[in-house]
């Protein structure tokens, strides 16, 4: 079986789930609206330009998980899925997943957004395998810290290599779909790199490397 790897945000969905979660928290009154929204926007711009300090960002973005009970977070996430995620799921992305599934490929989502946000999205898309940033949990509660290597930029390669070793998989015949210049390290490792509605930097890199460029947007 070949491995079909997918970035999530702005690839399989028409938006950024991490940024959308921040907006959702603002709307719920769970964070200081002005301070949080300004920081959320600033970090998102740094991410898009490929200049994000992931550890600084995680200290910011994981803090609300530590400040609320698992029950409150679960209730919010149900609302978040309905209000923010369902409207941006791309039918053509679901069709792409279905084609790989029909071929017998192993489907894997690898994302720089944390597992709390992305695991229900992967479930909704019918993808069992997920590599995501792992928020630390102690005694059943989030601590606000990250566990292990963040799956961001070169960290995606590190995490994927560990995942492959655990399952005795290889990258032979592998394909990776992404929209972001942040994923260049992994795009350069797989057999087939495909840029999906790419940002400007990734489009230039894809053109220079003769990678296929596709759109999953309507």
Q: Answer yes or no: are the C-beta atoms of 179 and 196 closer than 8 Å.
A: yes
In 3D space, the residue among 3, 8, 5 whose CA is nearest the CA of residue 179 turns out to be 8
Report the C-alpha gap between 184 and 83 in whole angstroms.
31
Q: Which residues contact 97 (CB under 8 A, 6 or more apart)?
A: 6, 12, 107, 125, 126, 127
- Sign of the alpha-carbon dihedral angle for 151, 199, 64, 74: negative
Residue 140 CB burial class (10 angstroms; 0-12, 13-18, ≥19): exposed
Catalytic one of 9, 179, 183, 199: 9
Q: What is the CA radius of gyration of the chain?
A: 17
Residue 116 CB burial class (10 angstroms; 0-12, 13-18, ≥19): buried
Catalytic one of 7, 179, 183, 199: 7
218 as an active site residue: the answer is no
Report the C-alpha gap between 71 and 78 in whole angstroms.
11
7 as an active site residue: the answer is yes
Active site residue ranges: 7, 9
């Amino acid at each position: 079986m070949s491995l079909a790897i997918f970035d999530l945000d702005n690839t399989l969905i028409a938006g950024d789930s991490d940024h959308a979660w921040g907006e959702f928290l603002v709307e719920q009154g769970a964070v200081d609206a002005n301070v949080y929204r300004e920081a959320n926007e600033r970090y998102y711009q740094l991410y898009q330009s490929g200049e994000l300090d992931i550890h600084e960002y995680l200290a910011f973005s994981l803090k609300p998980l530590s400040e609320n009970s698992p029950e409150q977070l679960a209730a919010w996430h149900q609302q978040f899925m309905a209000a923010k995620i369902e409207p941006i799921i791309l039918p053509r992305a679901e069709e792409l997943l279905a084609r790989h599934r029909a071929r017998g490929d192993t489907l894997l989502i690898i994302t720089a957004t944390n597992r709390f946000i992305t695991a229900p999205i992967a479930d909704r898309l019918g993808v069992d395998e997920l590599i995501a940033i792992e928020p630390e949990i102690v005694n059943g509660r989030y601590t606000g810290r990250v566990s292990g290597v963040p799956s961001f930029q070169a960290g995606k390669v590190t995490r994927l290599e560990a995942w492959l070793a655990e399952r005795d998989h290889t990258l032979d015949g592998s394909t990776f779909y992404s929209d972001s210049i942040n994923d260049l390290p992994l795009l350069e490792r797989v057999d087939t790199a495909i840029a999906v509605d790419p940002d400007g930097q990734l489009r230039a890199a894809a053109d220079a490397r003769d990678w296929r460029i596709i759109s999953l947007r309507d």
